[in-house]
Amino acid sequence: MSTSVLRLEKTCIFQAKNLILSEVNIDVKQGDFVYLIGKTGSGKSSLLKTLYGDLQLTEGQGEIVGFKLETLKDKDIPFLRRKLGIVFQDFKLLNERSVHGNLEFVLKATGWNDRLKINEKIEAVLTKVNMLDKANKFPYELSGGEQQRVAIARALLNDPELILADEPTGNLDPQTSMEVMQVLQDLNKKGHTIFMATHDYAIILKYPSKTLKCEDHKVFEVVQRKDP
């Protein structure tokens, strides 16, 4: 029986005092790949922000990688985020640092100080996303797809128990989106658990998996039809 890495029970998601989602029940097991879909403004990003501690959970119960969201303190948030790999739509890379420098910055900020181990870890994660040959390039020298691969590598640095991806293909053309999705699929096959918000239905058709939908302040599972 797989272990749950994310579980929400009867939770309500708020932005300030505005109810965004109500009665949310989600259970993501270790090794799952789960999509979260819905129109812009349906609550996908608010849900993800609650999961990584940007929004407070005030109603219901939630647990993610061992942290209880309803009792999460500000001082706990950095420790929670070290157990999560977070991938954003806009990459959030530091343009004045090389690819290697971006990853080194994150490792040093999370307590790594052995140069040999830092270099070994950076080499390992860049190899996973096929970007080792671009380690000395700067973000502005890379394509959008390459930047997103680096962002995924960054998310893998501290061996996260769960990868949260918020529209990771949102700024990419269709071909590049599929290439980035293949990277995420390969990571999932190697045991990484992924919870991904997207509005790109072409991706879901090509790489079908469990799908949750935000609509009318609710979250429900979409039953995918199988062709006869």
**Dist CA 89 CA 14 (whole Å):** 22
Looking at residue 225, what is its pLDDT? 61
CATH fold of 4-222: Rossmann fold (3.40.50)
Q: For residues 98 and 137, is the Cβ–Cβ distance under 8 A?
A: yes
User: Can you tell me whether residue 58 is helix, strand or coil?
Assistant: coil
CA distances from 66 to 45, 129, 161, 174, 188 (A): 21, 27, 10, 36, 20
- Residues 144-156: tens digit of each pLDDT: 999 999 999 999 9
The domain ranges of the chain are: 4-222
Note the pLDDT tens digit of each residue in 20-44. Answer: 999 999 999 999 999 999 988 899 9
Residue stretches of the chain with pLDDT short of 70:
1, 224-228
Q: How many Å separate Cα 13 from the centre of its chain?
A: 18
What is the model's pLDDT at position 228? Answer: 45
Cα 87 to Cα 187: distance, rounded to the nearest angstrom = 14
- 174: Cβ–Cβ under 8 A, 6 or more apart, which residues? 202
Pairing of strands 218-222, 67-68: unpaired
Beta carbons of 152 and 87 less than 8 angstroms apart: yes
Question: Given this model, what pLDDT does residue 1 score?
Answer: 63
pTM score, two decimals? 0.92
